[in-house]
Amino acid sequence: MLDEDLPDAAERELKEETRIDATRLHLEQLQTYGAPSRDPRGRVISVAYLALAPDLPVPQAGTDATNARWEHAAAVLDGRVTLAFDHNAIVENGVERARSKLEYTTLATAFCQEEFTIFELRRVYEIVWSTPIDARNFHRKVMSANFLVQTGRQTTRDGGRPAALFRLNEERANDLLYPAMLRPRLLARSLGVLRPCRRPRDRAANPALRLSSRSDRFNRSGSCNALGKRLGIPISSSQALSHGHIRPRTLCHA
């Protein structure tokens, strides 16, 4: 519609094609896409929006959408699900935006109950970032960012010993976090301690070298130890393998 602003158009399209009410979620402009060859039918310029909210309903196709459903974001990122035109790239940009927002905003608390444990908050970060996080290091960083308030109550719902319950400090709900909650990988790069090592011809002859459970190779006697000392994050294959992952989801419609 020519007399419609972009945010209004995004809300209308979301409601018309998925039956999801935009008032239930956070909606922000992601990026504009206008490569001449992105749509073989002709020149099309698209303004993509990113929606963030917990407990979203099942989408229902409407108007010109023949189908609408949730897909695991990981399936789009690794190519198992192929979308039309350049929409895979748009999803990649959206996931990266969501991941980065957890670093400098209090967004993660929106995906917890009103009162939550540090473990529950950490699981949100692990799920969105798709990486395990050292519990002690995370606790230290969360408390130094000063965006939580301890309620004085405890719970055993996480299992084990009673854990303290926290809530979001409403006075800081819209503040930028300082220091930022950097992803382990980005923090390591910023400190310059991740140095891929050469893979020897015979790994058995050099037990100091191991492949991590990730795709990167680290020298256990060098880079990994330096990383652990400087970040307080023990790096090991067993730690990476001991964490389960719940996959974030993205909305697809045709």
CATH number for the domain spanning 61: value is 3.90.79.10
Q: Are strands 46-52 and 26-33 parallel, antiparallel or unpaired?
A: antiparallel
Is 70 exceeded by the pLDDT of residue 3? yes
* pLDDT of 156 above 50: yes
Instruction: Please indicate, yes or no, whether residues 134 and 70 belong to a single structural domain of this protein.
Output: no
- Do both 202 and 147 map to the same domain? no
- Lowest mean pLDDT of 29-33, 106-110, 142-146, 158-162, name the range: 158-162
Percent of the chain's residues with pLDDT above 90 = 59
Quote the pLDDT of residue 205. Answer: 46
Per the domain annotation, does 253 fall within a domain?
Answer: no
Q: What is the pLDDT of residue 226?
A: 41
Residue 6 CA neighbour count, 13 Å, CB half: 12
Give bridge partners of residue 249 from the DSSP assignment.
72
Residues 76 and 13 both lie in one domain: yes
Q: How confident is the model at residue 62 (pLDDT cuts 50, 70, 90)?
A: confident
Residue 186: the pLDDT is 58
- Last residue in a domain, options 172, 192, 217: 172
Q: How far apart are CA 49 and CA 90, in angstroms?
A: 10
Q: What percent of the chain has pLDDT over 70?
A: 72
Residues 54 and 15 in one domain: yes
Q: 57 or 238: whose pLDDT is higher? A: 57
Residue 182 to residues 69, 82, 132, 137, 177, Cα–Cα distance (Å): 32, 30, 13, 12, 10
Let me know if 11 is exposed, middle or buried by CB neighbors in 10 A (0-12, 13-18, 19+).
buried
Choose one of 146, 172, 198: the last residue of a domain: 172
Q: State the average pLDDT over residues 155-176.
A: 93
Range 31-44 average pLDDT: 94
End of a domain among 143, 172, 201? 172
pTM: 0.70
Structural domain total, the chain: 3
CA distance 106 to 169: 9
Q: Do both 158 and 111 map to the same domain?
A: yes
Residue 93 lies in a domain: no
On whether both 166 and 111 belong to a single domain, the answer is yes
Question: Do residues 166 and 201 share a domain?
Answer: no
| Statement to judge: residues 148 and 198 lie in one domain | no
Residues spanned by the domain of 224: 184-241
User: For the chain, what percentages of helix, strand and coil (3-state, to nearest 5) are there?
Assistant: 40, 20, 45
